Structure 1
Protein backbone atom coordinates (compact mmCIF):
# COMPACT_ATOMS: atom_id res chain seq x y z
CA UNK A 1 0.00 0.00 0.00
CA UNK A 2 1.02 3.59 -0.60
CA UNK A 3 -0.23 7.02 0.38
CA UNK A 4 -0.08 8.25 -3.21
CA UNK A 5 -3.81 8.13 -4.04
CA UNK A 6 -5.82 11.33 -3.74
CA UNK A 7 -9.54 11.84 -3.10
CA UNK A 8 -11.31 15.17 -3.37
CA UNK A 9 -14.57 16.89 -4.24
CA UNK A 10 -15.28 20.12 -6.08
CA UNK A 11 -18.60 21.98 -5.79
CA UNK A 12 -20.22 18.65 -4.94
CA UNK A 13 -23.98 18.48 -4.68
CA UNK A 14 -25.69 15.31 -3.50
CA UNK A 15 -29.43 14.78 -3.30
CA UNK A 16 -32.07 12.12 -2.72
CA UNK A 17 -34.77 12.73 -5.34
CA UNK A 18 -35.33 16.49 -5.09
CA UNK A 19 -34.00 16.87 -1.53
CA UNK A 20 -30.47 18.27 -1.60
CA UNK A 21 -28.30 17.15 1.30
CA UNK A 22 -24.80 18.29 0.26
CA UNK A 23 -24.61 21.79 -1.19
CA UNK A 24 -21.58 22.77 -3.28
CA UNK A 25 -19.01 21.11 -1.04
CA UNK A 26 -15.30 21.20 -1.92
CA UNK A 27 -12.98 19.03 0.17
CA UNK A 28 -9.53 17.46 -0.12
CA UNK A 29 -8.85 14.32 1.91
CA UNK A 30 -5.22 14.45 3.18
CA UNK A 31 -3.39 11.44 1.68
CA UNK A 32 -1.88 9.00 4.16
CA UNK A 33 -3.74 10.50 7.12
CA UNK A 34 -6.77 9.69 9.26
CA UNK A 35 -9.69 12.04 8.60
CA UNK A 36 -12.70 12.02 10.94
CA UNK A 37 -15.98 13.56 9.81
CA UNK A 38 -18.18 14.77 12.67
CA UNK A 39 -21.42 16.67 13.02
CA UNK A 40 -24.99 16.39 14.30
CA UNK A 41 -27.52 13.89 12.98
CA UNK A 42 -28.77 14.55 9.44
CA UNK A 43 -25.94 16.98 8.66
CA UNK A 44 -24.83 15.03 5.58
CA UNK A 45 -21.89 13.01 6.96
CA UNK A 46 -23.01 9.63 5.66
CA UNK A 47 -24.26 11.13 2.41
CA UNK A 48 -20.84 12.69 1.81
CA UNK A 49 -19.16 9.35 2.47
CA UNK A 50 -21.51 7.65 -0.02
CA UNK A 51 -20.62 10.29 -2.58
CA UNK A 52 -16.89 9.83 -2.00
CA UNK A 53 -17.30 6.06 -2.48
CA UNK A 54 -19.30 6.40 -5.72
CA UNK A 55 -22.37 4.88 -4.10
CA UNK A 56 -24.34 8.07 -4.80
CA UNK A 57 -24.07 10.00 -8.05
CA UNK A 58 -23.75 13.79 -7.72
CA UNK A 59 -26.45 16.09 -9.02
CA UNK A 60 -23.65 18.58 -9.72
CA UNK A 61 -19.92 18.89 -9.12
CA UNK A 62 -17.41 16.06 -9.10
CA UNK A 63 -15.61 13.53 -6.92
CA UNK A 64 -12.04 12.98 -8.07
CA UNK A 65 -9.90 9.90 -7.42
CA UNK A 66 -6.28 10.56 -8.40
CA UNK A 67 -7.44 13.63 -10.28
CA UNK A 68 -9.99 11.77 -12.43
CA UNK A 69 -13.77 11.81 -12.05
CA UNK A 70 -14.54 8.73 -9.97
CA UNK A 71 -17.66 8.09 -12.06
CA UNK A 72 -15.56 7.84 -15.21
CA UNK A 73 -13.28 5.11 -13.86
CA UNK A 74 -13.91 1.35 -14.23
CA UNK A 75 -15.78 0.03 -11.16
CA UNK A 76 -13.22 -2.71 -10.50
CA UNK A 77 -10.35 -0.19 -10.61
CA UNK A 78 -12.15 1.94 -8.04
CA UNK A 79 -12.91 -1.09 -5.84
CA UNK A 80 -9.25 -2.15 -5.88
CA UNK A 81 -8.20 1.31 -4.70
CA UNK A 82 -11.01 2.42 -2.41
CA UNK A 83 -12.84 0.33 0.19
CA UNK A 84 -16.11 1.33 1.86
CA UNK A 85 -17.88 0.08 4.97
CA UNK A 86 -21.37 1.64 4.80
CA UNK A 87 -23.74 2.14 7.67
CA UNK A 88 -25.79 -0.96 8.62
CA UNK A 89 -24.69 -3.29 5.80
CA UNK A 90 -26.77 -6.43 5.20
CA UNK A 91 -25.19 -9.85 4.68
CA UNK A 92 -26.68 -12.47 2.33
CA UNK A 93 -28.73 -15.07 4.18
CA UNK A 94 -26.79 -18.13 5.33
CA UNK A 95 -23.32 -16.76 4.54
CA UNK A 96 -20.48 -17.69 6.89
CA UNK A 97 -18.02 -15.28 8.41
CA UNK A 98 -15.14 -16.58 6.28
CA UNK A 99 -17.18 -16.33 3.09
CA UNK A 100 -18.24 -12.76 3.83
CA UNK A 101 -14.73 -11.61 4.69
CA UNK A 102 -13.43 -13.37 1.56
CA UNK A 103 -15.66 -11.13 -0.55
CA UNK A 104 -13.27 -8.33 0.27
CA UNK A 105 -10.84 -10.00 -2.14
CA UNK A 106 -13.19 -9.91 -5.15
CA UNK A 107 -11.83 -6.62 -6.59
CA UNK A 108 -8.41 -8.29 -6.86
CA UNK A 109 -9.73 -11.25 -8.82
CA UNK A 110 -9.37 -11.16 -12.62
CA UNK A 111 -11.53 -13.16 -15.01
CA UNK A 112 -9.13 -16.12 -14.84
CA UNK A 113 -7.40 -15.40 -11.53
CA UNK A 114 -7.89 -18.10 -8.94
CA UNK A 115 -7.78 -17.83 -5.18
CA UNK A 116 -4.15 -17.36 -4.14
CA UNK A 117 -2.03 -17.63 -1.04
CA UNK A 118 -2.05 -13.82 -0.86
CA UNK A 119 -5.85 -13.87 -0.74
CA UNK A 120 -5.77 -16.52 1.99
CA UNK A 121 -3.31 -14.48 4.04
CA UNK A 122 -5.34 -11.28 3.63
CA UNK A 123 -8.50 -12.96 4.92
CA UNK A 124 -6.73 -14.69 7.82
CA UNK A 125 -5.01 -11.46 8.86
CA UNK A 126 -8.29 -9.55 8.75
CA UNK A 127 -10.02 -12.19 10.88
CA UNK A 128 -7.23 -12.07 13.47
CA UNK A 129 -7.01 -8.28 13.52
CA UNK A 130 -10.72 -7.89 14.28
CA UNK A 131 -10.78 -10.74 16.82
CA UNK A 132 -13.33 -12.84 14.89
CA UNK A 133 -11.14 -15.78 13.84
CA UNK A 134 -12.95 -18.05 16.27
CA UNK A 135 -16.22 -17.17 14.52
CA UNK A 136 -14.96 -18.12 11.05
CA UNK A 137 -17.35 -21.04 10.51
CA UNK A 138 -20.41 -19.34 12.02
CA UNK A 139 -23.29 -17.91 9.99
CA UNK A 140 -23.20 -14.12 10.07
CA UNK A 141 -26.92 -13.88 10.86
CA UNK A 142 -26.34 -15.88 14.08
CA UNK A 143 -23.95 -13.28 15.52
CA UNK A 144 -24.57 -10.41 17.89
CA UNK A 145 -24.63 -6.86 16.55
CA UNK A 146 -21.11 -6.19 17.82
CA UNK A 147 -19.74 -9.41 16.34
CA UNK A 148 -21.34 -8.67 12.97
CA UNK A 149 -19.85 -5.20 12.94
CA UNK A 150 -16.36 -6.60 13.51
CA UNK A 151 -16.90 -9.10 10.67
CA UNK A 152 -17.84 -6.29 8.29
CA UNK A 153 -14.73 -4.38 9.33
CA UNK A 154 -12.71 -7.55 8.65
CA UNK A 155 -14.14 -7.68 5.11
CA UNK A 156 -13.11 -4.08 4.53
CA UNK A 157 -9.60 -4.81 5.82
CA UNK A 158 -9.29 -7.92 3.64
CA UNK A 159 -9.83 -5.72 0.60
CA UNK A 160 -6.40 -4.14 1.33
CA UNK A 161 -7.10 -0.86 -0.42
CA UNK A 162 -5.02 2.31 -0.18
CA UNK A 163 -8.15 4.32 0.69
CA UNK A 164 -10.60 3.08 3.32
CA UNK A 165 -13.91 4.79 4.11
CA UNK A 166 -15.96 3.73 7.14
CA UNK A 167 -19.36 4.99 8.25
CA UNK A 168 -19.77 4.67 12.02
CA UNK A 169 -17.54 1.57 12.36
CA UNK A 170 -17.92 1.55 16.17
CA UNK A 171 -21.72 1.15 16.05
CA UNK A 172 -22.96 -1.72 18.27
CA UNK A 173 -19.51 -2.11 19.85
CA UNK A 174 -18.80 -1.86 23.56
CA UNK A 175 -16.15 0.63 24.63
CA UNK A 176 -13.37 -1.97 24.63
CA UNK A 177 -14.02 -2.96 21.02
CA UNK A 178 -14.52 0.67 20.00
CA UNK A 179 -10.99 1.45 21.13
CA UNK A 180 -9.65 -1.74 19.54
CA UNK A 181 -11.20 -0.84 16.17
CA UNK A 182 -9.83 2.71 16.25
CA UNK A 183 -6.42 1.41 17.32
CA UNK A 184 -6.58 -1.08 14.47
CA UNK A 185 -7.30 1.68 11.94
CA UNK A 186 -4.42 3.71 13.36
CA UNK A 187 -2.11 0.69 13.00
CA UNK A 188 -3.25 0.29 9.40
CA UNK A 189 -2.54 3.93 8.70
CA UNK A 190 0.88 3.98 10.36
CA UNK A 191 2.06 0.61 9.05
CA UNK A 192 0.76 0.75 5.47
CA UNK A 193 0.14 4.46 4.91
CA UNK A 194 -3.56 3.77 4.26
CA UNK A 195 -5.66 6.90 3.88
CA UNK A 196 -8.62 6.46 6.23
CA UNK A 197 -11.86 8.46 6.36
CA UNK A 198 -14.26 7.76 9.23
CA UNK A 199 -17.69 9.15 10.06
CA UNK A 200 -17.89 9.13 13.86
CA UNK A 201 -20.44 10.36 16.40
CA UNK A 202 -18.11 10.37 19.40
CA UNK A 203 -16.42 13.76 19.20
CA UNK A 204 -13.86 12.99 21.91
CA UNK A 205 -12.71 9.78 20.20
CA UNK A 206 -12.63 11.61 16.88
CA UNK A 207 -10.33 14.24 18.39
CA UNK A 208 -8.09 11.57 19.88
CA UNK A 209 -7.64 9.52 16.70
CA UNK A 210 -7.92 12.07 13.88
CA UNK A 211 -5.05 13.75 12.10
CA UNK A 212 -7.61 15.85 10.24
CA UNK A 213 -11.07 16.72 11.54
CA UNK A 214 -13.99 17.82 9.34
CA UNK A 215 -16.95 19.38 11.16
CA UNK A 216 -20.20 19.48 9.17
CA UNK A 217 -23.60 21.07 9.64
CA UNK A 218 -26.42 21.52 7.16
CA UNK A 219 -24.58 19.80 4.31
CA UNK A 220 -21.61 22.14 4.57
CA UNK A 221 -18.12 22.01 6.07
CA UNK A 222 -18.06 24.52 8.91
CA UNK A 223 -14.47 23.85 10.02
CA UNK A 224 -11.59 21.52 9.19
CA UNK A 225 -8.01 20.96 10.24
CA UNK A 226 -6.11 19.45 13.18
CA UNK A 227 -8.45 18.74 16.13
CA UNK A 228 -6.63 21.19 18.39
CA UNK A 229 -7.38 23.98 15.91
CA UNK A 230 -10.91 22.97 14.96
CA UNK A 231 -12.45 22.13 18.33
CA UNK A 232 -13.29 25.24 20.35
CA UNK A 233 -16.25 26.05 22.58
CA UNK A 234 -17.53 28.31 19.80
CA UNK A 235 -17.25 25.62 17.09
CA UNK A 236 -18.94 22.97 19.24
CA UNK A 237 -21.76 25.42 19.96
CA UNK A 238 -22.13 26.38 16.29
CA UNK A 239 -21.94 22.84 14.88
CA UNK A 240 -23.67 20.80 17.60
CA UNK A 241 -25.71 23.44 19.44
CA UNK A 242 -24.01 22.32 22.64
CA UNK A 243 -22.54 24.30 25.50
CA UNK A 244 -19.30 22.75 26.67
CA UNK A 245 -16.03 23.24 28.45
CA UNK A 246 -12.72 22.01 27.02
CA UNK A 247 -9.81 20.39 28.75
CA UNK A 248 -6.80 18.48 27.41
CA UNK A 249 -7.38 14.74 27.10
CA UNK A 250 -5.14 13.27 29.86
CA UNK A 251 -4.17 10.39 27.54
CA UNK A 252 -3.59 12.09 24.18
CA UNK A 253 -3.47 15.80 24.94
CA UNK A 254 -6.14 16.43 22.29
CA UNK A 255 -9.27 18.47 23.10
CA UNK A 256 -11.67 16.77 25.49
CA UNK A 257 -15.23 18.06 25.33
CA UNK A 258 -17.15 18.23 28.62
CA UNK A 259 -20.84 18.84 27.83
CA UNK A 260 -22.70 21.34 29.99
CA UNK A 261 -26.33 20.45 30.66
CA UNK A 262 -28.85 22.84 32.14
CA UNK A 263 -29.23 20.66 35.25
CA UNK A 264 -25.52 20.64 36.07
CA UNK A 265 -24.28 24.17 35.71
CA UNK A 266 -25.89 27.59 35.70
CA UNK A 267 -25.12 29.92 32.81
CA UNK A 268 -22.96 32.12 35.00
CA UNK A 269 -20.93 29.14 36.19
CA UNK A 270 -20.02 27.72 32.79
CA UNK A 271 -16.22 27.86 32.55
CA UNK A 272 -14.52 28.82 29.29
CA UNK A 273 -12.06 25.99 29.91
CA UNK A 274 -11.13 23.59 32.66
Structure 2
Protein backbone atom coordinates (compact mmCIF):
# COMPACT_ATOMS: atom_id res chain seq x y z
CA UNK A 1 0.00 0.00 0.00
CA UNK A 2 1.97 2.96 -1.24
CA UNK A 3 -0.46 5.10 -3.25
CA UNK A 4 -1.78 8.14 -1.44
CA UNK A 5 -5.48 8.65 -2.04
CA UNK A 6 -7.36 11.82 -1.21
CA UNK A 7 -10.70 11.69 0.60
CA UNK A 8 -12.73 14.83 1.18
CA UNK A 9 -16.24 16.04 1.91
CA UNK A 10 -17.50 19.23 0.27
CA UNK A 11 -20.47 21.09 1.78
CA UNK A 12 -21.72 17.72 2.97
CA UNK A 13 -25.19 17.48 4.48
CA UNK A 14 -26.34 14.16 5.96
CA UNK A 15 -29.68 13.33 7.54
CA UNK A 16 -31.76 10.52 9.01
CA UNK A 17 -35.47 10.69 8.19
CA UNK A 18 -35.17 14.38 7.32
CA UNK A 19 -33.39 15.13 10.61
CA UNK A 20 -30.19 16.85 9.54
CA UNK A 21 -27.15 15.63 11.48
CA UNK A 22 -24.19 16.86 9.42
CA UNK A 23 -24.71 20.44 8.27
CA UNK A 24 -22.78 21.59 5.22
CA UNK A 25 -19.50 20.20 6.46
CA UNK A 26 -16.24 20.49 4.47
CA UNK A 27 -13.22 18.44 5.54
CA UNK A 28 -10.22 16.74 3.99
CA UNK A 29 -8.67 13.59 5.43
CA UNK A 30 -4.91 14.22 4.99
CA UNK A 31 -3.33 11.37 2.98
CA UNK A 32 -0.79 9.23 4.80
CA UNK A 33 -1.76 10.65 8.20
CA UNK A 34 -3.77 9.61 11.25
CA UNK A 35 -6.87 11.75 11.72
CA UNK A 36 -9.02 11.69 14.86
CA UNK A 37 -12.60 12.95 14.82
CA UNK A 38 -13.70 14.18 18.26
CA UNK A 39 -16.73 15.82 19.79
CA UNK A 40 -19.59 15.25 22.24
CA UNK A 41 -22.21 12.53 21.85
CA UNK A 42 -24.66 13.00 18.97
CA UNK A 43 -22.54 15.68 17.28
CA UNK A 44 -22.32 13.83 13.95
CA UNK A 45 -18.97 12.01 14.27
CA UNK A 46 -20.23 8.54 13.32
CA UNK A 47 -22.59 10.01 10.73
CA UNK A 48 -19.68 11.79 9.07
CA UNK A 49 -17.72 8.52 8.91
CA UNK A 50 -20.74 6.74 7.38
CA UNK A 51 -20.99 9.46 4.78
CA UNK A 52 -17.28 9.26 3.93
CA UNK A 53 -17.60 5.48 3.51
CA UNK A 54 -20.67 5.77 1.24
CA UNK A 55 -22.91 4.06 3.80
CA UNK A 56 -25.17 7.11 3.90
CA UNK A 57 -26.21 9.13 0.85
CA UNK A 58 -25.87 12.90 1.17
CA UNK A 59 -28.80 15.28 1.17
CA UNK A 60 -26.53 17.69 -0.68
CA UNK A 61 -22.82 18.21 -1.22
CA UNK A 62 -20.62 15.21 -1.81
CA UNK A 63 -17.77 12.92 -0.83
CA UNK A 64 -14.87 12.55 -3.24
CA UNK A 65 -12.16 9.91 -3.44
CA UNK A 66 -9.34 11.11 -5.69
CA UNK A 67 -11.77 13.75 -7.02
CA UNK A 68 -14.33 11.08 -8.00
CA UNK A 69 -17.74 11.06 -6.36
CA UNK A 70 -17.72 7.92 -4.19
CA UNK A 71 -21.24 7.09 -5.35
CA UNK A 72 -19.91 6.72 -8.91
CA UNK A 73 -17.20 4.21 -7.95
CA UNK A 74 -18.04 0.47 -8.36
CA UNK A 75 -18.39 -1.41 -5.06
CA UNK A 76 -15.44 -3.76 -5.52
CA UNK A 77 -13.13 -0.99 -6.69
CA UNK A 78 -14.05 1.18 -3.71
CA UNK A 79 -13.59 -1.72 -1.27
CA UNK A 80 -10.01 -2.30 -2.43
CA UNK A 81 -9.12 1.30 -1.54
CA UNK A 82 -11.34 2.24 1.40
CA UNK A 83 -12.30 0.10 4.39
CA UNK A 84 -14.54 0.90 7.35
CA UNK A 85 -15.05 -0.66 10.75
CA UNK A 86 -18.45 0.53 12.03
CA UNK A 87 -19.25 0.99 15.69
CA UNK A 88 -21.51 -2.06 16.13
CA UNK A 89 -20.65 -4.67 13.48
CA UNK A 90 -22.62 -7.93 13.49
CA UNK A 91 -21.00 -11.29 12.75
CA UNK A 92 -22.89 -14.06 10.92
CA UNK A 93 -24.14 -16.73 13.30
CA UNK A 94 -21.63 -19.51 13.97
CA UNK A 95 -18.74 -17.93 12.03
CA UNK A 96 -15.23 -18.53 13.35
CA UNK A 97 -12.63 -15.86 13.91
CA UNK A 98 -10.45 -16.99 10.99
CA UNK A 99 -13.42 -17.05 8.61
CA UNK A 100 -14.56 -13.59 9.67
CA UNK A 101 -11.09 -12.12 9.23
CA UNK A 102 -10.88 -13.87 5.85
CA UNK A 103 -13.92 -11.93 4.68
CA UNK A 104 -11.71 -8.88 4.59
CA UNK A 105 -10.02 -10.44 1.55
CA UNK A 106 -13.14 -10.64 -0.62
CA UNK A 107 -12.60 -7.35 -2.48
CA UNK A 108 -9.17 -8.56 -3.64
CA UNK A 109 -10.41 -11.81 -5.14
CA UNK A 110 -11.61 -12.39 -8.68
CA UNK A 111 -15.12 -13.21 -9.78
CA UNK A 112 -14.61 -16.88 -8.87
CA UNK A 113 -13.33 -15.97 -5.37
CA UNK A 114 -10.12 -17.97 -5.67
CA UNK A 115 -8.18 -18.00 -2.42
CA UNK A 116 -4.44 -17.44 -2.77
CA UNK A 117 -1.30 -17.59 -0.67
CA UNK A 118 -1.43 -13.78 -0.48
CA UNK A 119 -4.85 -14.06 1.16
CA UNK A 120 -3.49 -16.56 3.69
CA UNK A 121 -0.60 -14.22 4.48
CA UNK A 122 -2.86 -11.19 4.91
CA UNK A 123 -5.16 -13.06 7.32
CA UNK A 124 -2.25 -14.49 9.33
CA UNK A 125 -0.60 -11.08 9.60
CA UNK A 126 -3.85 -9.44 10.73
CA UNK A 127 -4.47 -12.14 13.37
CA UNK A 128 -0.92 -11.81 14.66
CA UNK A 129 -1.04 -8.01 14.74
CA UNK A 130 -4.22 -8.04 16.84
CA UNK A 131 -3.13 -10.91 19.14
CA UNK A 132 -6.06 -13.07 18.02
CA UNK A 133 -4.16 -16.05 16.57
CA UNK A 134 -4.91 -18.16 19.63
CA UNK A 135 -8.67 -17.76 19.10
CA UNK A 136 -8.63 -18.20 15.31
CA UNK A 137 -10.66 -21.43 15.40
CA UNK A 138 -13.23 -20.26 17.95
CA UNK A 139 -16.71 -18.96 17.08
CA UNK A 140 -16.83 -15.17 17.29
CA UNK A 141 -19.95 -15.39 19.48
CA UNK A 142 -17.95 -17.11 22.25
CA UNK A 143 -15.45 -14.28 22.64
CA UNK A 144 -15.45 -11.46 25.15
CA UNK A 145 -16.38 -7.97 23.98
CA UNK A 146 -12.74 -6.92 23.89
CA UNK A 147 -11.69 -10.00 21.93
CA UNK A 148 -14.49 -9.47 19.41
CA UNK A 149 -13.41 -5.89 18.88
CA UNK A 150 -9.85 -6.99 18.12
CA UNK A 151 -11.18 -9.59 15.66
CA UNK A 152 -13.16 -6.94 13.80
CA UNK A 153 -10.04 -4.79 13.62
CA UNK A 154 -8.16 -7.81 12.26
CA UNK A 155 -10.76 -8.15 9.49
CA UNK A 156 -10.30 -4.48 8.59
CA UNK A 157 -6.51 -4.95 8.54
CA UNK A 158 -6.79 -8.04 6.33
CA UNK A 159 -8.60 -5.93 3.75
CA UNK A 160 -5.32 -4.01 3.29
CA UNK A 161 -6.84 -0.81 2.00
CA UNK A 162 -4.99 2.48 1.56
CA UNK A 163 -7.65 4.29 3.58
CA UNK A 164 -9.14 2.89 6.78
CA UNK A 165 -12.03 4.47 8.71
CA UNK A 166 -12.79 3.25 12.23
CA UNK A 167 -15.74 4.26 14.39
CA UNK A 168 -14.86 3.97 18.09
CA UNK A 169 -12.46 1.01 17.67
CA UNK A 170 -11.56 1.07 21.38
CA UNK A 171 -15.13 0.55 22.58
CA UNK A 172 -15.42 -2.29 25.15
CA UNK A 173 -11.64 -2.34 25.63
CA UNK A 174 -9.81 -1.69 28.88
CA UNK A 175 -7.11 0.97 28.89
CA UNK A 176 -4.32 -1.53 28.12
CA UNK A 177 -6.06 -2.77 24.99
CA UNK A 178 -7.10 0.74 23.99
CA UNK A 179 -3.45 1.74 23.85
CA UNK A 180 -2.55 -1.49 22.04
CA UNK A 181 -5.16 -0.81 19.34
CA UNK A 182 -4.01 2.78 18.84
CA UNK A 183 -0.37 1.64 18.74
CA UNK A 184 -1.39 -0.95 16.13
CA UNK A 185 -3.06 1.69 13.95
CA UNK A 186 0.02 3.90 14.27
CA UNK A 187 2.21 0.95 13.23
CA UNK A 188 -0.01 0.42 10.19
CA UNK A 189 0.23 4.07 9.26
CA UNK A 190 4.01 4.25 9.67
CA UNK A 191 4.85 0.92 8.05
CA UNK A 192 2.48 1.12 5.07
CA UNK A 193 1.50 4.78 4.79
CA UNK A 194 -2.14 3.89 5.39
CA UNK A 195 -4.41 6.89 5.75
CA UNK A 196 -6.44 6.37 8.93
CA UNK A 197 -9.45 8.26 10.27
CA UNK A 198 -10.81 7.34 13.71
CA UNK A 199 -13.79 8.50 15.72
CA UNK A 200 -12.60 8.56 19.32
CA UNK A 201 -14.18 9.71 22.59
CA UNK A 202 -10.99 9.98 24.63
CA UNK A 203 -9.69 13.44 23.80
CA UNK A 204 -6.28 12.92 25.42
CA UNK A 205 -5.61 9.69 23.53
CA UNK A 206 -6.82 11.39 20.34
CA UNK A 207 -4.28 14.18 20.90
CA UNK A 208 -1.51 11.70 21.58
CA UNK A 209 -2.04 9.60 18.45
CA UNK A 210 -3.37 12.10 15.90
CA UNK A 211 -1.50 13.95 13.20
CA UNK A 212 -4.72 15.79 12.42
CA UNK A 213 -7.82 16.51 14.53
CA UNK A 214 -11.36 17.38 13.46
CA UNK A 215 -13.53 18.74 16.28
CA UNK A 216 -17.29 18.68 15.70
CA UNK A 217 -20.27 20.08 17.53
CA UNK A 218 -23.87 20.05 16.30
CA UNK A 219 -22.90 18.59 12.93
CA UNK A 220 -20.45 21.37 12.14
CA UNK A 221 -16.67 21.73 12.26
CA UNK A 222 -15.51 23.89 15.16
CA UNK A 223 -11.79 23.42 14.52
CA UNK A 224 -9.45 21.24 12.48
CA UNK A 225 -5.69 20.95 12.26
CA UNK A 226 -2.84 19.63 14.37
CA UNK A 227 -3.55 18.77 18.03
CA UNK A 228 -1.69 21.84 19.32
CA UNK A 229 -3.77 24.12 17.07
CA UNK A 230 -7.11 22.49 17.85
CA UNK A 231 -6.97 21.59 21.52
CA UNK A 232 -7.12 24.84 23.43
CA UNK A 233 -9.15 25.69 26.53
CA UNK A 234 -11.43 27.84 24.36
CA UNK A 235 -12.10 25.10 21.80
CA UNK A 236 -12.68 22.47 24.49
CA UNK A 237 -15.27 24.73 26.11
CA UNK A 238 -16.95 25.50 22.77
CA UNK A 239 -17.06 21.85 21.71
CA UNK A 240 -17.72 20.04 24.99
CA UNK A 241 -19.08 22.80 27.24
CA UNK A 242 -16.26 21.98 29.63
CA UNK A 243 -13.83 24.32 31.36
CA UNK A 244 -10.33 22.90 31.44
CA UNK A 245 -6.63 23.49 31.67
CA UNK A 246 -4.42 22.37 28.78
CA UNK A 247 -1.03 21.04 29.86
CA UNK A 248 1.67 19.08 28.01
CA UNK A 249 1.21 15.31 28.09
CA UNK A 250 4.19 14.13 30.18
CA UNK A 251 4.68 11.14 27.86
CA UNK A 252 4.15 12.56 24.37
CA UNK A 253 4.30 16.32 24.84
CA UNK A 254 0.95 16.66 23.05
CA UNK A 255 -1.89 18.70 24.59
CA UNK A 256 -3.57 17.06 27.57
CA UNK A 257 -6.97 18.22 28.80
CA UNK A 258 -7.38 18.55 32.57
CA UNK A 259 -11.10 19.09 33.29
CA UNK A 260 -12.28 21.65 35.84
CA UNK A 261 -15.37 20.58 37.76
CA UNK A 262 -17.44 22.36 40.38
CA UNK A 263 -15.68 20.57 43.22
CA UNK A 264 -12.11 21.15 42.04
CA UNK A 265 -12.19 24.72 40.90
CA UNK A 266 -8.83 26.55 41.07
CA UNK A 267 -8.57 28.99 43.95
CA UNK A 268 -9.96 32.39 43.07
CA UNK A 269 -12.16 31.12 40.22
CA UNK A 270 -15.95 30.81 40.25
CA UNK A 271 -17.30 27.23 39.87
- Tell me the TM-score normalised to structure 1 length: 0.97
Q: Does 1:19 align with 2:19?
A: yes
**Residue of structure 2 equivalent to 1:123:** 123
Provide the secondary structure at the position in 1 that maps to 2:32.
coil
Q: How many residues align?
A: 270
1:30-45 aligned at under 5 Å gives the runs 30-45=30-45
Kindly indicate whether the alpha-carbon contact (under 8 Å) linking 1:216 and 1:239 is maintained by their aligned counterparts in 2.
yes
Provide the secondary structure at the position in 2 that maps to 1:263.
helix
- How far apart are the structure 1 equivalents of 2:109 and 2:56? 25
Provide the secondary structure at the position in 1 that maps to 2:101.
helix
CA RMSD of aligned residues (A): 1.0
1:45-64 aligned at under 5 Å gives the runs 45-64=45-64
- Per-residue CA shift, 1:158-197, capped at 9, x if unaligned? 0000000000000001111111110010010011000000
1:160-179 aligned at under 5 Å gives the runs 160-179=160-179
**Residue of structure 1 equivalent to 2:85:** 85
Provide the secondary structure at the position in 2 that maps to 1:268.
coil
- How far apart are the structure 1 equivalents of 2:148 and 2:259? 31
Flag the 1:21–1:85 CA change in 2: closer, same or farther, 3 A.
same
Kindly indicate whether the alpha-carbon contact (under 8 Å) linking 1:3 and 1:195 is maintained by their aligned counterparts in 2.
no
Q: Does 1:210 align with 2:210?
A: yes
Which runs of no fewer than 5 residues in structure 2 stay unpaired?
none
- How far apart are the structure 2 equivalents of 1:268 and 1:141? 54
Deviation at 1:112, TM superposition (A): 2.8
Q: Does 1:106 align with 2:106?
A: yes
Which runs of no fewer than 5 residues in structure 1 stay unpaired?
none
